[in-house]
Amino acid sequence: MAVSLVWGEGIDDRQTVVVPEPGPEYSTTPLHFTAGGDTDTGRLEITATGRGELSIGTASLMPADNVEGFRADTLELLRELDSPVYRWPGGNFVSGYDWRDGIGDPDRRPPRTNPAWQGIEHNDVGLHEFLRFCELLDTEPYVTVNTGLDSARSAADEVEYCNGSTDTPLGVLRARNGHPEPFGVTWWAIGNEMYGDWQLGHMPLEEYVQKHNRVVEAMRERDDSIIAVAVGAVGRWSEVTLAECADHMDCISEHFYVQERPGLLGHTAWAAERVREIAEAHRRYRAEIPGLAERDIRVALDEWNYWYGPYVYGELGVRYFLKDALGIARGLHEFTRQSDLYIMANYAQTVNVIGAIKTTPTEVAFATTGLVLKLYRNHYGSIPVEISGEMRPLDVVAAWTDDRSALTVAVVNPTRERMLLPVAFEGFEPAGRARHWLITGPDPQAYNEPGGEMPVRLSETARVSFTSSLRLAPMSVNLYRLEPRR
């Protein structure tokens, strides 16, 4: 048996590795290649000579610098993004997914037709790989269970597999699969968008709330420390779920996607409007549903984004523009204003698809929206500060850092004009200079391309003059870090 990496049509445009004589048992053979040329049509060839029968399982080809199967360049940007939590496996996909398909030897897992979208699910990334991915990024896992076509018993088994000791049957199986210590997964999404007729296993609300309660009871029997996030959708679905399932949830999820709107101001305001509308609805539910206010069931808005335009980066792989980045920043601003109600907000999704990072087979780059998420995650404060005054069309928020050593002020200018913002503080005297981060570009339709042009940039100025007003570039996201005057 021989395996060849081929990069051209000539006799010398290939490298061939001969595999030792296969035996009667399944085995894995690692191979290493060095390409001798550049091509967009390279291929891997597997050939055999002689008599008899040869069965080939999984063939996987990846760069030599891969990190446990993940692309090193993409992991580098994900570390810069520094997301505090990742939700997996989704999404519409989860309602037809059997988590047992994603455990054990990856090369021996069954491939399945993707139950929600196109193509094949190869099961290269299952529970172990996802949880290892979270370890590599030092982030919190948030696992979604299948409440579509699967059962309460299956969801409970998944909890035991992740969190049970080796005194439990599924803890033993996890240890046999290479991880003796429990993973300790805290956050669990109880299904995904079960209100939609597009969802596998969709059922009437009155039936679903009963299934939700059965699933959570079974899961808590295996680990009563988990945080259970119910499926919500503003309107009757959320109202009935909160009324009937409050004892079987810790939080409730909501989702929204917005499309393209005419006009720069309208487009950039759309995400923030939806964040506010959902918050206002849940404030009404707390006031109207008996006993709900005392329970403080907060909202996990675990899918939100802009979603429109052609698919450039594979299935659902939309391109994001500067105007979308301005809108995402305004969405983050509204989350800070409503942070007493929201416990989590998960931009969806991460890589390609409707993601914050875009890739080609050889290049990777932050989309415009990813630059905003990176900036606010790394530099915006965490303790909201009240602001007042008429600032429209500018969008302004402020927050102290964790240790209250500095004040951060974020301003989105969603207009094509240079703007001047007067500022004054009560109980805080800033130093005369501030640290300034800026995201802007030449045009609302400007976008970044992996391996190509990067007209939308995140820049930093260590010391800018800060007096009684701020000068704001057109179509810009601005973040200032202010130290107190000593």
Q: Which residues are catalytic?
A: 193, 303
Residue 95's Cβ-count burial label (10 Å; 0-12, 13-18, 19+) is: buried
What is the chain's length? Answer: 486
* CA 91 vs CA 60, 97, 169, 199, 200: distances in Å: 26, 10, 29, 10, 11
Other Cβ atoms closer than 10 A to 352: 23
List the one residue out of 345, 465, 482, 334 whose CA is nearest residue 400: 482
CB of 479 closer than 8 Å to CB of 437: yes
Beta carbons within 8 Å of 210's beta carbon, 6+ residues apart: none
- What's the CA gap between 262 and 159, in Å, rounded? 46
CB of 408 closer than 8 Å to CB of 479: yes
CB of 231 closer than 8 Å to CB of 191: yes
* Phi, psi torsion values for 131, nearest 5 degrees: -70, -30
- What's the CA gap between 81 and 447, in Å, rounded? 18
CB of 350 closer than 8 Å to CB of 78: yes
List the one residue out of 479, 341, 473 whose CA is nearest residue 399: 479
As a 3-state breakdown, the chain gives helix, strand, coil percent values, each rounded to 5, of 30, 25, 45
The two structure tokens encoding residue 397: 């928020």
**In a 3-state reduction of DSSP, which class is residue 284?**
helix
Triad 240, 141, 59: Cα angle to 5°: 115
Position 262, amino acid: P
CA of residue 234 relative to chain centroid, distance: 22
- What's the CA gap between 210 and 206, in Å, rounded? 7
Strand pairing of 342-347 and 383-385?
unpaired
Strand pairing of 469-472 and 14-18?
unpaired
CB of 287 closer than 8 Å to CB of 334: no
